[in-house]
Structure 1
Amino acid sequence: MSKTIQKQTSLRRALHYVQDSRRLFALGLFAIIVLTAGNLAGPLILRSIIDEAIPKGDLWGLMFRAALYLMILLFMGILSYVGMITIARMGLEVVSRIKYDVFSHLLTLPVSYFDAHPVGELISRTENDCERVRELFSQIAVTIIVNSLFFLGMLAVCLYLEPKVTLYLAIATPVVLMLVILVFDKLRYFYDLHRQYQAQILAHITEFIQGWDILRVFNRKDWAISRVDECSRQRRDVDVKTSMLQYGIMGALNFSLGPLFMVLIIIFFVPQVVQGALTMGTLLVFFEYSRRIFEPILAIAENIRGIHQARVSLDRIFTILDLEPEITIPHQRTEGPITFEHEIESRHVWFAYKGEDWVLKDVSFTVHRGESLAVVGASGSGKSTTIGLLCGFYRPQRGEILIDGQNLATLDLSRWRRNIGLVLQDVYLFPGSVLENIRFYDDARGGNISAGEKQLLSFARALAFNPQLVILDEATASVDIQTERKIHESMKVLFAGRTAVVVAHRLSSI
């Protein structure tokens, strides 16, 4: 599929989110149409005053037209407010639905995806890219619709008043517009680079803030600053090139087209006014429109950048939504409830995160129900990888994990994981109270409690739902000796009737 087709598909898919807000869109569009009509009416009222009220000495007609013009201005102000608020609300609704879908889909992706993508990049995609889309369906959409209708309305009025000259203008305008669109389309490469550097900056900032204490201890603050500064300078250079091209073209068009059109009006219309073939009011209408005739084109051209940026963001968003979720329920799975009554077996398992750089080579072991298995080894020997395979986070490239003789790849992973109580060395606490974390409630990451207290909370959380299989991955690494001794004393009670897999660097922890 070509890039052009992909872009069109992304925009078309995005319109699906607008359908649920079609009432807001219709209301906003109606307000915009009426607002455009009011903008077109001003010069026509002025023409009526000059050509009819003043020559006839019609004071009341003059006052009526002036009052009508004032009423139109007031009504336009109200409609402008209503239209902008309505479209802005629609944009918020659209982006809220997109964010919901993106975040929901992220939670279905396999662990390997998060291993390969930094947190900052994912934040950029779920937040910054969605905000670009919001601008597309609010500010950018309003600008394009208003200016398109206003330009077409001015052409229609000019065509009615003086068809011949307007026809030349109508022929030249699409050529100018296409030229501007082609130039801005060439800038899309720079917009892509901008988004890439922006994601890198967010990724670095997120990682460095999370590890600020390590950076200070090892005196690596300058290194972290230089990494962020390098990406920032690269983004700056791209933005400078883009701005020079964009505003250079826009300035040239704005300087040349407006005065050129004014000269054409003087050449074509002033002799007709002198000869009496054209009224002064009509000439003033053309002068007024000529002053604004290319404003819509330039405004649309300026928003082409926003359109391209939004299209890049849409591509990034739909790239996430198109990712295959983790297969927790295989199509050809073993029917019946998932029971763990006999044993867990690792049979000739080979696993590598990349290529054939094997972390595990032909690993076989069996854990019977109620037994405890100790996995001891140096860092990088594959202990945590083994845990990940048992939890179904990864699948072995060779061999298989068997649960009571059934291949784990054929089981419903979401149901299998309900049997597991997992305690990791690096404990994550969710916002909320101690009780809520034990219940795994969804309401700061426990930043005000110690690492040992976090570890104890993790133990309580893992055992709260009476799991059949308890997995401890360096679970006592963050507690003191006395607490570790108490945990060891409680192991017989905690592991009673349960199967346990205990991972540690040293035998003394076992």
Structure 2
Amino acid sequence: MANKPKPALARRLFRYALLYKKTILFALLILFAATAAQLAGPYIAKVIIDQHIQGIEKPWYAADPATVPEGVQVVQYQDRSFVRSDWLENGQEIPQQWEKASISAIGASFYLIVGDIPPGAAWSPVSDDRVEVVSDGQTQSYPAAKLTKEEIIQFYSYDFKPVLWLIGLYVILLLASSGFTFIQSYLLQSAALGIIQKMRTDVMNHIQRIPIRYFDNTPIGAVVSRIANDTEAIKELFMSFMATFVVSGVNMIGIIVALFILDMKLALLTLLLIPVFVVIMVVHLRFSKIYVTIMRARLSDMNAKLNESIHVMPIIQAFRREKKTIEEFEVLNEDRYVNQKKQFRVFSLSSRNAVSLIIGLVTAGVIWKFGGDSLQAAISFGVLYAFIDYLSRFAQPIIGIFDQLLNAQRAFVSAERVFHLMDQPAENEIVETSEETVKRPEGHVEFDRVSFAYTGEEYVLKEISFEAKKGETVALVGHTGSGKSSIMNLLLGFYEVNSGSIRIDGREISEYSKQELRKHMGIVLQDPFLFTGDIKFNVSLYDSSIGPEQVKQALKDVGAAPFIEQLPQAYDTPVVERGSTLSAGQRQLISFARALAYNPAILILDEATASIDSETEGLIQQALKVLSEGRTTFIIAHRLSTIKDADQILVLHRGEIVERGTHDELMSKQGRYYRMYQLQTGETGTARSGSLTSVQAQGI
């Protein structure tokens, strides 16, 4: 797996998006409809302004009422009929006796002139009945009529109804846009949540198959951060950035199309802004990614430090390391704070600030270019209004994308970390197993010249060979670091041997799937782990084949029933995280019952009696006799008194088996095992503690 080329990050994220392609595509269709409804607003406003509000300033004709064809809209004023040019049908012939007329707004007043006035001329009132008109540098005075409020309403009489219809259409489009926006937002965010749910499930499934070696070298807090924090950051990519990017992209395309419909030159001017914004985004991303990467790394380090501190809080307080721990955390926190400030500085300079400045300058330039007296000759008021409206709308998606760039960068950095975890080489796939599919082994275990190193050539096991027949009890003893736990880790398949082979019933364990290998193995550790739940759950672990009676019997066999039945809720008593409300001995008994309930063919006890007092140890010894009957048992023990009845005792020293035999055989040899046993059964306090520290100090 490690040798395969990794697909591009964006491509891997896209694959997850494809899982919800139908939902996303439907949301995009709804988005197009919402965008069309939104962008219709300025165009409707342009129509209202140009065709109706400013329609009064279009060319008019003054005619004798008798010469106006039937069906043509007219306004009666001073015994004459006035017909606006756009009320006539295209190609309709204008009678020669009709006179041209014009109406123009000067300040808050409207003036009517009957006569041929050049288009775009500037009007200036001299009195209520006379107006000067300036055109091409020439000034000419015309008789004019200042219209009253009632007369103005009369000239607008045919515009009221269309304006009301257009306003009604605009309101309907706003409501439709709001509804469409809600639907597309809901669909896109639902898809994003589904994508992240799938990704978290994939990560969780994958880490169940990552070899134990990876977790030996990776802080737990870092792994938790990738599953919890980093996937949450990726969620923002799909929920916020993807939605914003798609919405903004569609809006920008719609705005550009609308601008081309309005005016070709203004549309081309807007297109020139896109490369400018792209350059700003590239610069922003280049500088910002450096800081975002450091910020995510420090967050992971802080989680790891917090996780470690909480787990070893008694040690920290006992050795007065609180201040030093806080200082170490503060170094990480300060580094993240400094880089976050730098990232915000880049964001503040290159995002909303830069976009607003550029859009503002362009808007001011357009108003200056087409403003003043030349406006009507260049573009209409309606076009100018619509352009400014569209330009401000054009800024919104650009600003939206900039605002989401930080989330996007966090998401991509987090995605790199999550996919790095998912790219870790995994063991064979998790498979559902049952008693029918996995045959219970006899329990004949063979180690044949096994050598193993955790790193490089630093071998912790060297040419280990031994045989454990069905039903035998094999004990492993030796000082700390001699290789006892490593042998059991290899047997459980947590690590692969460097050389040699391990066989169960004559079959290489490398031929088993990890689940098949461990299906009929039971293990009890020195530091037992209890899950959040109740006592029954911690024995059965929700295995449907283990009923309540089997749970109670297992607890009874190991001697745990008396103290459990004295608890307020007995077997239903809740267990908090790690079983901290129970004593070490009680936790050990429950974990021992767990192994017994699963009825393993091979049982591994890794210093399982280290936390048991002398009275409880007697109960355990009785349970061990029942438990060991008919199954192969491996015992790693520092208390040599617990392994006197073992069929075979292997004494390890620096990764090698230096002695082997029964208790009596090894005692008769008076070698390393003899000296260890004598030391433990002596009268010194150190010996009674069960520790081999003194043995190691003497070089035994």
Q: TM-score under structure 1 normalisation?
A: 0.91
In the aligned structure 2, how far is the partner of 1:317 from the partner of 1:158? 43
- Counterpart of 2:187 in structure 1 is 86
The AA in structure 2 aligned to 1:455 is Q
- Among residues 339, 351, 356, which one is paired with 1:250 in the alignment? 351
**Maintained 8 Å contact 2:443/2:632:** no
**Maintained 8 Å contact 2:440/2:601:** no
In the aligned structure 1, how far is the partner of 2:471 from the partner of 2:585? 27
Q: CA deviation at 1:200?
A: 0.9
DSSP 3-state at the match of 1:276: helix
- Counterpart of 1:236 in structure 2 is 337
Q: CA deviation at 1:382?
A: 1.9
- Counterpart of 2:42 in structure 1 is 43
- Structure with bigger gyration radius: 2
- Counterpart of 2:649 in structure 1 is none
- Counterpart of 1:503 in structure 2 is 636
> Greater relative contact order: 1 or 2 (C-alpha under 8 angstroms, separation 6 or more)?
1
Aligned pairs for 1:5-24 (under 5 A) are 9-24=8-23
DSSP 3-state at the match of 1:48: helix
Q: CA deviation at 1:98?
A: 0.8
- Among residues 533, 536, 545, which one is paired with 1:435 in the alignment? 536
DSSP 3-state at the match of 2:527: coil
**Maintained 8 Å contact 2:539/2:594:** yes
- Counterpart of 1:459 in structure 2 is 592
**Maintained 8 Å contact 1:272/1:278:** no
- Counterpart of 1:474 in structure 2 is 607
Aligned pairs for 1:384-423 (under 5 A) are 384-423=485-524
- Pairwise CA RMSD: 2.4
Could you give the per-residue CA deviations for residues 241-281 of structure 1, whole angstroms, max 9, x where no partner exists? 11111211225513530222113212432268534342111
Could you give the per-residue CA deviations for residues 281-308 of structure 1, whole angstroms, max 9, x where no partner exists? 1111112223333332232233233223
DSSP 3-state at the match of 2:8: helix
Q: Which has the higher helix share?
A: 1
Relative distance call for 1:120 and 1:79 in structure 2 (3 A) is same
- Among residues 270, 283, 286, which one is paired with 1:169 in the alignment? 270
In the aligned structure 1, how far is the partner of 2:451 from the partner of 2:632? 24
Relative distance call for 1:272 and 1:352 in structure 2 (3 A) is farther
- Asked if 1:209 corresponds to 2:310, the answer is yes
Relative distance call for 1:158 and 1:376 in structure 2 (3 A) is same
With 438-447 and 395-404 compared, the bigger mean Cα shift is at 438-447
In the aligned structure 2, how far is the partner of 1:254 from the partner of 1:411? 62
In the aligned structure 2, how far is the partner of 1:128 from the partner of 1:429? 26
The AA in structure 2 aligned to 1:139 is S
**Maintained 8 Å contact 1:423/1:475:** yes
- Counterpart of 2:454 in structure 1 is 353
Could you give the per-residue CA deviations for residues 40-89 of structure 1, whole angstroms, max 9, x where no partner exists? 12221221221122235212222222222222222222222222222111
- Among residues 450, 453, 468, which one is paired with 2:583 in the alignment? 450
**Maintained 8 Å contact 2:240/2:404:** no
Q: CA deviation at 1:471?
A: 0.8
**Maintained 8 Å contact 2:585/2:612:** yes
- Asked if 1:368 corresponds to 2:368, the answer is no
Unaligned runs of 5+ in 1: 330-335
Q: CA deviation at 1:351?
A: 1.8
Q: CA deviation at 1:487?
A: 0.6
In the aligned structure 1, how far is the partner of 2:9 from the partner of 2:610? 48
**Maintained 8 Å contact 1:372/1:500:** yes
- Counterpart of 2:204 in structure 1 is 103
Q: Which has the higher strand share?
A: 2
Q: CA deviation at 1:123?
A: 1.2
Unaligned runs of 5+ in 2: 57-155, 431-436, 544-574, 644-700
In the aligned structure 2, how far is the partner of 1:489 from the partner of 1:468? 19
With 376-385 and 117-126 compared, the bigger mean Cα shift is at 376-385
Q: TM-score under structure 2 normalisation?
A: 0.67
In the aligned structure 2, how far is the partner of 1:264 from the partner of 1:494? 90
Relative distance call for 1:157 and 1:480 in structure 2 (3 A) is same
In the aligned structure 2, how far is the partner of 1:410 from the partner of 1:85? 49
With 209-218 and 145-154 compared, the bigger mean Cα shift is at 209-218
Aligned pairs for 1:137-216 (under 5 A) are 137-216=238-317
With 452-461 and 180-189 compared, the bigger mean Cα shift is at 180-189
Q: CA deviation at 1:375?
A: 1.2
Aligned pairs for 1:311-326 (under 5 A) are 311-326=412-427
Count of aligned pairs between the two proteins? 499
Q: CA deviation at 1:337?
A: 7.1
**Maintained 8 Å contact 1:191/1:309:** yes
